[in-house]
Amino acid sequence: MKNMKKWMLIPAVAGVLAIGGVAMAEDSAPSVAKQADKIISLQEAKKVATDKVTGGKVTEIELDKDDGRYHFDIDMKDGKYEYDLEVDAYTGKIIKFEKEVEKNRKQAVSGKLLTKEEAIAFVKKKAVGTVREIELDTDDGRKIYEIEMKDDKFKYEIEMDAVTGAVLKFEKDRYHGSKKEVKEQTQKQVKAQTEKVAASTLTVVDPAKENQAVKQVANKKSDKRSMLTKDQAIAIAKKHASGIVTDFELDDHVYEIEMEDGNIEYELEIHAYTGAILSFERDDD
């Protein structure tokens, strides 16, 4: 398979729910739908990012898990800067924000260096809080100030051109609390998740056993419903991708479909019995 940009889809019905490398196989469609309702959709997460970065284009988005909680990792560009955001998958709040000048735009500028006081005055137009550290450094022949700040909710790491005052990199992270608080929160989340799993008969499968889980689900479903036809699978694929089908295969109860639309290529995996989207990849050349 080609190295492509991943756009993780969260199917709301049946089959297998792929979340950041962890698959959840299930026996009843309603239980998966109920579980997925707790997490915002990919489109909602994307809108949070585009509302934050006006004119920015999402280049990659993926659902991931950290400290026992799911979040969306989102990469963006706007022609001048690169952005890296983390959006809480339950609340839709931005918990991490990074902004950096695109690497091919980092050009050294000669001239008089700003004083540390002038640099701090510049940076306080971008962030509030207390400056914890400021250091003059060199990056690819360019003089930069590396500045660390924090307030009662966020911590900031900023790189600034020491001559022009232009912000080259901007990171904003929400505090996650003390290690004790994180541990207690994680324990509560694990307990709640365990109770939900017990109630809905969901089974959490290790990524290495994902294919085995797919087969097991498919075998159970095959006794109750017929396999989708090729035309039906393609019709499902065309709801999420455009263009012409260039490759179509059936492997272990999973339809593998490749499509092209001009310079855009798609790869999809669709469950042959339930029609659930197991994976979706898009490559913009």
pLDDT string in tens for the chain (285-residue length): 444 444 444 433 333 333 333 333 333 333 434 445 588 999 999 999 999 999 999 999 999 888 888 999 999 998 888 999 999 999 999 999 998 887 655 555 567 888 989 988 888 887 778 899 999 988 877 889 999 998 888 888 898 888 888 888 888 887 655 444 545 555 565 566 556 545 544 344 454 555 555 555 545 544 446 889 999 999 999 998 888 999 999 988 899 999 988 888 888 899 999 888 888 888 775
Where do the structural domains in the chain lie, given as residue ranges?
A: 5-27+201-284
Torsion over CA: 9, 4, 263, 270 (sign): negative
| Distance from C-alpha of 19 to C-alpha of 61, rounded to nearest angstrom | 12
Torsion sign (Cα): 58, 61, 66, 69 = positive
What is the Cα–Cα distance from 22 to 1, expressed in whole angstroms?
20
Residues 256, 269: Cα–Cα separation, whole Å: 5
pTM of the model: 0.36
Going by the DSSP 8-state scheme, the letter that residue 275 receives in this structure is -
Provide the CATH topology of domain 5-27+201-284.
Nuclear Transport Factor 2; Chain: A, (3.10.450)
Give the model's pLDDT for residue 155. Answer: 87
Alpha helices in the chain (DSSP H): 29-36, 42-52, 116-123, 179-200, 210-222, 230-237
Contact predicate 39/90, CB 8 Å: yes
